[in-house]
Amino acid sequence: MDAVSKEMLEWKTTESYMVKLHIAHNYISGVFMEQRFHPEWTVEKVKDQVYLRTGTEPAFQVLTLQDASGKTICTLDNDAATLASLGAQDGFTLHCQDTNPNSLAKNGGFEDLSQVEKYEISDEAYEARDNSYRAWKKKLEREEPNHPWLVKIRNMKENKTDEEEAKHVHVGDRVEVLGGRRGTVRFVGVVPEIKSGWWVGIEYDEPSGKHDGVVKGKRYFDAAPMCGGFMRPSAVKVGDFPPLGLDDLEDDDEL
């Protein structure tokens, strides 16, 4: 066996030998699921690994090992003991009690973003910057007022996205959409409940849609369950399309 093959075998053997433990913390609501530990790691090394994940220094950790039902098996107070000697198994939980009175994790310190001090800048100071997004946008508006990106932004603000394309679609038209599905147009217009711009409401021939014509409690048209959907006019092709069978393909422009 060459050196590379031997190394791969050792890696696979080690990987399959790892035990998967969850890590819980008294100040952190979430659980670190299925963290990999080697059974021969000592408690000292385990504490280092818990520190990397929770931020609680080993000196302030009181670790207990709990079985899959939540029953405490033992306290990890012997730094020289190994996980194997303590009976650690897949699905068991290492529970960390943080005893640091000044712990940063206290009161949701690692989870509640409202406690994080946010950087603030006055509007005057931001306006004075020459490398800000606002400065770049103003420069673009001066030099290329009809830049496609600016036109798109204006259309979004004015609810005009796909307005021109919508003029060629009418209620009652037979259409085919990207992905091959076919149906009948039941609505053309703006739908404030979803993204800005113009939309085409379609009653599909088969239950390959998203709803029955109702969006966030407001009905725009009638369709059978899962036969309704909204598509951007640019994604709709009008024509003499006979009904087809169910097509499972979906498109990212649909809502």
φ/ψ (deg, to 5) at 23: -120, 120
Predicted confidence (pLDDT) per residue in 3-58, tens digit: 655 555 454 445 557 999 999 999 998 899 999 999 999 999 999 999 999 999 99
Residues near 45 by beta carbon (within 8 Å), at least 6 away in sequence: none
Domain 3-108: top CATH class: alpha beta
Say yes or no to pLDDT of 173 above 80.
yes
Structure-model confidence comparison of residues 183 and 145, the more confident one: 183
> Amino acid identity of 98?
D
φ/ψ (deg, to 5) at 93: -120, 135
Residues 148-163, mean pLDDT to the nearest whole number: 80
- pLDDT confidence of residue 7: 53
Half-sphere exposure of 67 (CA within 13 A, CB side): 6
Q: Which CATH superfamily is domain 166-238 in?
A: CAP Gly-rich-like domain (2.30.30.190)
The answer to whether the 3-108 and 166-238 domains have the same CATH topology is no
The pTM assigned to this predicted structure is 0.44
Q: Any idea where the domains of the chain sit in the sequence?
A: 3-108, 123-157, 166-238
Q: Quote the percentage of the chain above a pLDDT of 90.
A: 59
> Based on C-alpha coordinates, what's the Rg of the chain?
30
Burial of 51 (0-12, 13-18, 19+ CB in 10 A): middle
Predicted confidence (pLDDT) per residue in 189-246, tens digit: 999 888 888 999 999 999 989 999 999 999 999 999 999 999 999 999 999 999 875 4
Q: Are 202 and 175 in contact (CB under 8 A)?
A: yes
Tokens of 119: 């950087």
Return the closest-CA partner of residue 177 out of 115, 247, 110, 122.
Answer: 247
